[in-house]
Chain A
Amino acid sequence: MEVLADNLARIERGGRTEIVSIALVDASVGDRLLVHAGEASARVERSEHSA
Chain B
Amino acid sequence: MKFVDEFRSEAMAQRLAAQIARVAGQRSYQIMEVCGGHTHTIYKHGLEYHLPDNVTLVHGPGCPVCVIPTGRLDDAIAIAEQHNVILTSFGDMMRVPGSRGSLLDAKARGADIRVVYSPLDALNLARRNPARHIVFFAIGFETTAPSTVMTLLRARTEGLRNFSVFCNHVTIIPAIKAILDSPDLRLDGFVGPGHVSTVIGCRPYEFVARAYHKPIVVAGFEPLDILQAIYMILKQIAEGRAEVENQYTRAVTREGNPRARQVLNEVMEPRASFEWRGLGSIAHSALKLRDSFAAYDAEQQFSLPGIRVADPKACQCGEVLKGVLKPWECKVFGTACTPETPIGSCMVSSEGACAAYYNYGRFTKEQLRSSARPSS
Contacts of A36 in B (CB 8 A): 140, 143-144, 146-147, 195
Q: Majority SS of interface residues in chain A? A: loop
| Cβ-defined contact, A38 with B121, below 8 A | yes
| Cβ-defined contact, B250 with A47, below 8 A | yes
Is B80 an interface residue when CB atoms closer than 8 A count as contact?
no
Residues of B within 8 A of A (CB): 8-9, 12, 90, 117-121, 140, 143-144, 146-148, 150, 154, 195, 198-199, 220, 222, 224-225, 249-252, 257, 259-260, 263
Is A44 an interface residue when CB atoms closer than 8 A count as contact?
yes
Cα distance, A34 to B120, chains bound together (Å): 17
- Residue of B117, B199, B252, B259 near A37 (CB, 8 A) is B117
| Cβ-defined contact, B147 with A38, below 8 A | yes
| Cβ-defined contact, A49 with B12, below 8 A | yes
Write 30 A-B pairs (CB below 8 A) sorted by A numbering: A20-B118, A21-B150, A23-B150, A24-B146, A24-B257, A24-B259, A24-B263, A25-B259, A34-B195, A34-B198, A34-B251, A36-B140, A36-B195, A37-B118, A37-B147, A37-B148, A39-B150, A41-B146, A41-B195, A41-B199, A43-B251, A44-B250, A44-B251, A45-B251, A47-B220, A47-B250, A49-B9, A49-B12, A49-B222, A49-B225
User: How many residues in A have their beta carbons less than 8 Å from beta carbons of B?
Assistant: 22
Residues of A within 8 A of B (CB): 6, 19-21, 23-25, 34, 36-39, 41-47, 49-51
